[in-house]
Amino acid sequence: MPIIIMPYAYGRYATVERRAKILQGEQYTPIPSDVEFEELLVHEIGLRFPAYKFIESRDGCKKVLQKPVFQLPTPAGNLWPLIIIEQNGLLFLCLPLVDVQGVSRPPLIQIPGISVGFSLVLSLADYLGPLTHNTTETSVRLIDAYKYLCEAAPFGTPLNTSGALVHQLLDSKPCSGSPSLRSPAWRPVPYKGKPQVYIIISEQVRCAQYDKAGVDDVWAVYGTVSCKAELNGAAPEVSLGLDYHRADCATPIQDLVLHPCAHCSWNQTLTGIEDSTLLPTMVCFTPPPEMFVLCHYTANMCQLPIRGFYQMREMESSVTIMLQVKLNPSVQNYFDYCEVQMPFYNRGEITHVDSTVSVGKVVTSNDKRILVWNIGEKFPSNTLEASLSSTLKFSSMSTPSNTYEDPFCTELNAYAKVVFKVSNYTLSECWVDVKSISISPSAKAKVLTARDVSSIDYRIWNSHGNAPIADCSQS
């Protein structure tokens, strides 16, 4: 599994090349020298100037692209799969050993070596971080890269690719504990200190509201449970219970995906539900030393947290807008922040704003192309509604060439984007029962929990214009 950081470092593993010769037999393609390999690579991915020159084998329509996996033609044959990622101005390359024979190849997701190689180069790029322009082959950061590879992939076989784990292994002293206490691969260094457990439940909601007859609004909620367990011992085991308070949805938590170090014990849902599914009651795991995502899930939300109506009309030399938003009574009425951003593309800069709001204040962005309505931390308690009406005028001057203009948002095609965050609350009302947390071997650990929900791509489209309609049904 050769590792390359262009244009600074090259690493080869003779053990892996020997295994490739044995595995592939007559189909084995030798790896060219470093200089020849670099020449072939920059030609194949179009970095050799002039890049506009058309080459049928590289640029033809018949070539199937599977980025970041490439095939590199060499005089002796094709090298595949070559994994290439670009980060911080550098190219990170890896040629993993895969057991794929013949002309036909299975889907990339079914080849474990590709997933492992991609994880390795991505972790190496994150481990190194950005390099300065005066970096040379003898720089300390590149020496760190070799140290990382020796620890993460000894003899070319990836073991621990996490940068945080590699840091701990390089900085730790040899363990003098009992040889019978074996640590898992993801927890190679025992923790020593005050035991504490941090649990964070974060949810994100995205939606598209249209306010059009025959067109349903669409939305989705995604959640993660992150954990950092600072516990003494080589392999402590933690179990915690996931629960929820939702009475309007039978299965608010769906599509649960666990971290590889975790497993679930399951229980039937409430009796009387015709389509009964399984919900996790306890999640058990031996935690890595760093903060990690214990699980991902989707949530079934019956109503939108904030519903809005956006109307924009064009006058002779101005634009009038009217926006109404209403908070769902079931949502906690206390925000870290809540604002509505109304971008205006293909119109020039905003030169005049005349606004009336029921709550909050209105400002324009620094580039004079977005109207921002800052609602504040709370909606009015008596109505849970807020409204804005505004008249805007724009300059006739064209915007700079480097300014992004959404090609769809022309004339009446426009949207308002709601940006908010609520702490100590989740839409699924998923929470961790602190009393259910148990640690083995027994330890008195301080448990800290937090919850939050935030918006991502939460759009309300102008009811007088067109909108891209999502081709999916609400679950």
Dihedral sign for Cα 117, 119, 124, 130, please: positive
Residues in the chain, total: 475
Q: Where are the alpha helices (DSSP H) in 25-88?
A: 34-44, 56-59
Instruction: Flag whether pLDDT at 473 surpasses 60.
Output: no
Give Cα 285 distance to the centre of its chain. Answer: 23
Per-residue pLDDT, 462 = 96
**Mean pLDDT of all residues belonging to the chain:** 85
Strands 196-209 and 446-461: parallel
Q: How confident is the model at residue 246 (pLDDT cuts 50, 70, 90)?
A: low
Average pLDDT over residues 14-20: 92
Residues 6+ apart with CB under 8 A from 103: none
Instruction: Flag whether pLDDT at 342 surpasses 80.
Output: yes
Per-residue pLDDT, 166 = 87
Instruction: Flag whether pLDDT at 397 surpasses 80.
Output: no
Per-residue pLDDT, 188 = 81
Question: Tokens in use for 270?
Answer: 């409430």
CA proximity to 199, closest of 313, 287, 111, 312: 287
Average pLDDT over residues 330-356: 93
Query: What does the buried/exposed string (b/e) look like for 235-265 if buried means 16 or more CB atoms within 10 Å of the residue's CB?
Result: ebebbbbbebebeeebbbbeebebbebbebe
Q: pTM for the complete prediction?
A: 0.73
Per-residue pLDDT, 465 = 92
Residue predicted with more confidence, 473 or 288: 288
Per-residue pLDDT, 140 = 83
Average pLDDT over residues 293-317: 90
Question: Tokens in use for 42?
Answer: 């920059």
Residue 301 sits at the vertex; the CA angle it makes with 280 and 260, to the nearest 5 degrees, is: 35
Instruction: Flag whether pLDDT at 102 surpasses 60.
Output: yes
Per-residue pLDDT, 272 = 36
Domains of the chain, with CATH numbers? 3-165 (no CATH), 196-303+427-459 (2.60.40.1170), 306-424 (2.60.40.1170)
Residues 6+ apart with CB under 8 A from 197: 227, 228, 229, 230, 231, 238, 437, 439, 445, 446, 447, 448
